[in-house]
């Protein structure tokens, strides 16, 4: 069952990778029981945040239809992605969901002029029927990102700066007039002085072109700056999700709290607090294979129950938290300072 009112409807999706041979291999749950929706009515920027190995890229492959879930379903405009059979169906889906990748210099072939990609996209998706029409479409898309065809024409990728080429990569994604842009770490390879122009561009696209953006990142500061909602991932699980102000200003899950605390603030006054002791996991695989809550090994509030079974998703106001600290019983027992806050 899906809700027709949503662009994306992700329902209890899990992905299990088999690592190793036929007999003695290990199973790795890269995405575990993840659910969220993206509204059709209102364009928004939805951030999926997490550290390396948190499963955010696997999740983005699911959304692009590049990978099918082991269990659960992904719906786009009410249709199950795994049921697309014909090329036409797939194409009409890809047209509406366009990716922007991390490294713009790898997105474009260095031996081909960048405009060739823009023209190809316009013609392959049927947005334009001939080169003349395509030129108009391409120019319009470039205008949307603050460039023009005249500036870009005849240029090779190495002749453009990192900021420019990432904007061209976004312009390419805009050509088929998508409903959603899925941007996987779009600013991590871009210089600091140019980063904000890319981030601001996503804001403009949301407000003026009504394009929703799924912003996948490890950078909480830019996530706070542009997004409406955020989901924080840890080892394949969404541990906390909700409006970005709520989640990042007052994180409830102990992992979100640690993550927020670890973001270095550009405030030299408080530097001693930031370098206070924290414990680190020795290897990632240990945490993936942990039964129950993946954060149990590092959590300051760990209880016996955390190591026994997956914590439930608990709604607290507009957000959900996947943590035993916020269950009915725990709330009754009280005691944690976070609990006090949750009740308020």
Residue with tokens 């994306």: 8
Closer to another protein at the Cβ: 9 or 184? 184
Closer to another protein at the Cβ: 22 or 192? 192
Closer to another protein at the Cβ: 85 or 276? 276
Closer to another protein at the Cβ: 210 or 271? 271
Q: Does 194 bind another protein (CB under 8 A)?
A: yes
Closer to another protein at the Cβ: 132 or 277? 277
The full DSSP string for 274-310 is HTS-----S-HHHHHH-SS-TTTTT-TT--GGGGTSP
**H or E element at residue 13:** strand 6-19
Q: Nearest CA to 94 among 49, 63, 131, 71?
A: 63
Query: What residues pair up with 328 in beta bridges, in sequence order?
Result: none
Structure tokens at 109: 């072939």
Q: How many residues does the chain have?
A: 344
Q: Considering only residues 74 through 93, tell me which ones interact with another protein, judged by CB under 8 A.
A: none
Rounded Cα distance between 190 and 128, Å, is 31
Q: What's the gap between Cα 203 and its chain centre?
A: 15
Among 56, 95, 179, 195, binds another protein (CB under 8 A): 195
CB of 266 to another protein, least distance (A): 5
Q: What's the gap between Cα 306 and its chain centre?
A: 27
Q: Considering only residues 245 through 284, tell me which ones interact with another protein, judged by CB under 8 A.
A: 248-249, 258-260, 262-271, 274-278, 280-284
Torsion of CA 274, 278, 284, 285, to 10 degrees: -160
Q: Does 301 bind another protein (CB under 8 A)?
A: no
Q: Does 30 bind another protein (CB under 8 A)?
A: no
CB of 262 to another protein, least distance (A): 4
Q: Considering only residues 210 through 239, tell me which ones interact with another protein, judged by CB under 8 A.
A: 218, 220-222, 224-225
Task: Map residues 153-192 to x or -, x wherever contact with another protein holds by CB under 8 A.
Answer: --------xxxx--------------------------xx
CB of 199 to another protein, least distance (A): 8
Closer to another protein at the Cβ: 71 or 286? 286
- Do residues 144 and 152 make contact, with C-beta atoms less than 8 angstroms apart? no
Structure tokens at 269: 């006054």
Among 83, 87, 88, 193, binds another protein (CB under 8 A): 193
Phi, psi of 3 (to 5 degrees): -100, 125
Binding site for another protein (CB under 8 A): 51-52, 161-164, 191-197, 199-200, 218, 220-222, 224-225, 248-249, 258-260, 262-271, 274-278, 280-284
């Amino acid at each position: 069952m899906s809700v027709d009112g949503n662009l994306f409807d992700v329902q209890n999706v899990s992905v299990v990778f088999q690592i190793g041979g036929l007999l003695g291999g290990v199973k790795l749950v890269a995405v575990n029981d993840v659910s969220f929706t993206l509204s059709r009515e209102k364009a928004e920027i939805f951030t999926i945040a997490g550290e390396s190995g948190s499963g955010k890229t696997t999740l983005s492959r699911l959304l692009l239809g590049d990978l099918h879930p082991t269990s659960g379903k992904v719906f786009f405009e009410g249709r199950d992605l795994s049921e697309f059979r014909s090329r036409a169906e797939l194409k009409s889906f890809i047209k509406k969901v366009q990716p922007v990748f991390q490294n713009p210099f790898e997105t474009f072939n260095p031996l081909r002029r960048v405009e060739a990609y823009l023209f190809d996209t316009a013609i392959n998706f049927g947005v334009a029927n001939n080169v003349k029409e395509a030129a108009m479409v391409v120019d319009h898309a470039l205008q949307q990102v603050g460039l023009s065809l005249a500036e870009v024409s005849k240029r090779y990728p190495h002749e453009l700066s990192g900021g420019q080429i990432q904007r061209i990569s976004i312009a390419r994604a805009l050509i088929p007039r998508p409903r959603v842009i899925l941007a996987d770490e779009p600013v991590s390879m871009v210089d600091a002085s140019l980063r904000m122009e890319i981030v601001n561009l996503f804001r403009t696209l949301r407000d003026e072109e009504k394009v929703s953006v799924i912003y996948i990142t490890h950078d909480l500061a830019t996530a706070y700056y542009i997004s409406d909602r955020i989901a924080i991932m840890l080892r394949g699980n969404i541990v906390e999700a909700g409006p970005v102000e709520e989640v990042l200003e007052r994180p409830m899950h102990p992992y979100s709290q640690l993550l927020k605390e670890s973001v270095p603030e550009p405030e030299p006054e408080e530097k001693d607090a930031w370098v206070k002791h924290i414990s680190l996991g020795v290897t990632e695989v240990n945490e993936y294979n942990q039964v129950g809550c993946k954060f149990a090994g590092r959590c300051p509030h760990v209880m016996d129950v955390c190591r026994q079974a997956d914590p439930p998703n608990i709604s607290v106001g507009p957000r959900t938290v996947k943590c035993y600290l916020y269950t009915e019983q725990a709330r009754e027992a009280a005691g944690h300072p976070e609990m006090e806050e949750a009740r308020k």
